[in-house]
Structure 1
Amino acid sequence: MDIKALRQFDLNSLVTLNVLLEEKHVTHAAEKLNLTQSAVSRSLSKLREALDDPILVKSGKHLALTNKAERLQPILSRILQQIQDVLKPEQFDPKTHQGTIRLATTDYGTHTLLPKLIPLLAEEAPNVQISAVDWPSNLLTELETNKVDLIIGGTKEPPADIFQRVLAHDYFQGVVREGHPLSGNITLEDYLSLNHIMISPSGHGNSVIDELLEQRGYKRNVSVRVPHFFAALEVVANTDHMILLPNHFIRRYVDDAKFRVIEPPFEIPEMKVSMFWHARMHQDPLHKWFRSFIYEKVYSKVKR
């Protein structure tokens, strides 16, 4: 593409040229363009100079297209139609739209959301497919590198190119097996004496809990790291380990006959459950509709 040549040419005059080629009459072209005849005549003079061709020539009592103008007309018409298509607002109908949403969340999120999402989606957008993947270890990088479209879960504040919408708030409670040596109200000393399990897709690094304890000069012993909530719960059921889990998960999946719920002996800030998406997808019609769909119809049902 010759950018320099394009910048020297008034691309708006292509609209005038197209009408002139259709009408083959300066006055009629001016009326159609809602311009003065002199303005169209000036534009025609500039076009003749730029294209090195008279474009319109006298033929009896009328004007006729030159050979070059005849060759240009279908090309110009097609180009202007393509430009119009680019500028036209995208029409989106979930009933007929075909596409795929790549959704990343935890195993808990999958168990909670998908049974509600899929039936509703099949009714509202039958041709939209869901591709659910595990909660990624390099969470927000997956959005930046276009490996996933939407992430649902809790994380730290995202960078500027990542959008966030809070779906709900949750809080942490401790879970140990039934018959655990410690139960009921425990002290911070009791808590720090235990072996702990952490949900960790990456298998390394500190959680918000560890950072919170570190700020107060404490450190807990995280002896097991697993990527999935349900696997962690099985470990708790068969050991004296403890895990901190979201209250919504505990209420839905933790069996009172097998486990004891313990209040943490220190204050833990509420956890935000959010949707995250990259700025690249912010105005995409399918993704924009899907985010509203999740928030308004799906997640509200999950919370109840």
Structure 2
Amino acid sequence: MPTSYDLNLLRVLLCLLEERSVSRAAEKLCLTQSAVSKQLAKLRLQLNDPLFVRHAGGLSPTPRVRNLAPTLRQWLQTANQMLEAEGFEPSSSQRSFRCSVNETCFATLLPRFFGKLSRLAPGLKLATHKLSAGSIEGLQHGEYDFAILTRDNDPRAPSHLQVKHLPKQVRCLELYREDHVCLVRKGHPVLQQAWDLNTYLQQAHLSCECEVGERWLLHTVLAEQGLHIENSTLTADFFAATMLCQSSDLVFTCTRSFAQEVVNTHKLAQLPLPVEMAPFSYLLAWPEHLEEDPAHRWLRQLILEYCQG
């Protein structure tokens, strides 16, 4: 058992945990695969644990690594803060941030600030991942540095999906509020009809899986009236849903900002959603322990400047 430890190897361990691949970790660390493999062997010796198990999809962390992950991220954060003790300088920063993002934001929110970010901080790395049911827990455990997510203001929404229901360890600010609309292909027969709730319910609908799954507030509101929509097609990707919508008679209910983006690039028409629901909120969320981090504070201020309101 070694009597001294190479702390630089901890960065390699954290990168392997995030990438789940020796080749991707090597690319991110600007090392060869052989070098990362050798460092992984040293880590296994130092920690007396296999650390990762290989399988067809990549590397799976052992329980020891999963337990170490929050401490590792906190250690790296502390090290970065020490190096930035004289103040954060965006133009020379090499910091990396991981962000979990609501899928519609890839088309609507990220383009608002990404260009400015790349000009002001060309060395800063922002890795974006699709929001999932585990993203909030990931924020708490240090897996993500930011999340951009939606929460309901309508009291009929399940409590865990309302704005007020976020863990105390997670800080957040509202970016803006919006509502939902309907997309149909240009030339759809409903464009020649009176568009009301009855017409809406008679259509075959396309739905998209999101953080909350297949069902969301709309289904609850309709169920309270003894109504439902027929979800004849389910897809896990909003852009795939857009393509299916423009090539069929399916109706796709989505956020207004996303609809406004895709009607300009696809053969689609926009209709109002004939169901009364309160506007929902887009939130920028981050873990409490990053509240005072200079680089994190700078980045979230940039996001707020270009995305809030």
Tell me the TM-score normalized by structure 2: 0.61
1:253 pairs with 2:262: yes
* Cα distance between partner residues in 2 of 1:163 and 1:216: 36
Q: Deviations over 1:257-297 (max 9, x none)?
A: 8222222222121121221222232222222221111111x
Where 1:217 maps in the other structure, the secondary structure is coil
Q: What letter corresponds to residue 165 of structure 1 in structure 2?
A: L
The Cα of 1:107 is off from its aligned counterpart by: 4.2
Q: What letter corresponds to residue 185 of structure 2 in structure 1?
A: R
* Cα distance between partner residues in 2 of 1:299 and 1:102: 18
Seen in structure 2, the aligned counterparts of structure 1 residues 203 and 224 have a Cα distance that, compared at 3 Å, is farther
* Cα distance between partner residues in 1 of 2:277 and 2:103: 23
The Cα of 1:203 is off from its aligned counterpart by: 8.6
1:277 pairs with 2:286: yes
The Cα of 1:100 is off from its aligned counterpart by: 0.9
Show structure 1 runs of 5+ residues with no match. 1-84
1:144 pairs with 2:140: yes
Alignment of 1:203-242 (within 5 A): 204-242=213-251
Alignment of 1:155-174 (within 5 A): 155=151, 156=161, 157=163, 158-174=166-182
Alignment of 1:41-120 (within 5 A): 91-120=87-116
Q: What letter corresponds to residue 178 of structure 1 in structure 2?
A: K
* Cα distance between partner residues in 2 of 1:202 and 1:119: 27
* Cα distance between partner residues in 2 of 1:222 and 1:146: 36
Q: What letter corresponds to residue 175 of structure 1 in structure 2?
A: L
Conservation of the 8 A alpha-carbon contact between 1:203 and 1:225: no
RMSD: 2.8
Q: What letter corresponds to residue 91 of structure 1 in structure 2?
A: G
Counterpart of 2:149 in structure 1 is 153
Q: Deviations over 1:181-233 (max 9, x none)?
A: 32354232222222222231369442121122223332222233323221111
Where 1:244 maps in the other structure, the secondary structure is strand
Conservation of the 8 A alpha-carbon contact between 1:199 and 1:232: yes
Q: What letter corresponds to residue 152 of structure 1 in structure 2?
A: I
The structure with more radius of gyration: 1
The Cα of 1:242 is off from its aligned counterpart by: 0.8
Counterpart of 1:192 in structure 2 is 201
Conservation of the 8 A alpha-carbon contact between 1:107 and 1:230: no
Conservation of the 8 A alpha-carbon contact between 1:203 and 1:227: no
Seen in structure 2, the aligned counterparts of structure 1 residues 180 and 123 have a Cα distance that, compared at 3 Å, is closer
* Cα distance between partner residues in 2 of 1:126 and 1:255: 30
Aligned residue pairs total 215
Where 1:191 maps in the other structure, the secondary structure is helix
The Cα of 1:112 is off from its aligned counterpart by: 3.3
The counterpart of 2:118, out of the listed 114, 119, 122, is: 122
Q: What letter corresponds to residue 129 of structure 1 in structure 2?
A: K
* Cα distance between partner residues in 1 of 2:197 and 2:303: 39
* Cα distance between partner residues in 2 of 1:153 and 1:137: 11
* Cα distance between partner residues in 1 of 2:91 and 2:287: 25
* Cα distance between partner residues in 2 of 1:178 and 1:269: 28
Identity %, equivalent residues? 22
Q: Deviations over 1:65-102 (max 9, x none)?
A: xxxxxxxxxxxxxxxxxxxx98x977333233331111
Q: What letter corresponds to residue 245 of structure 1 in structure 2?
A: C
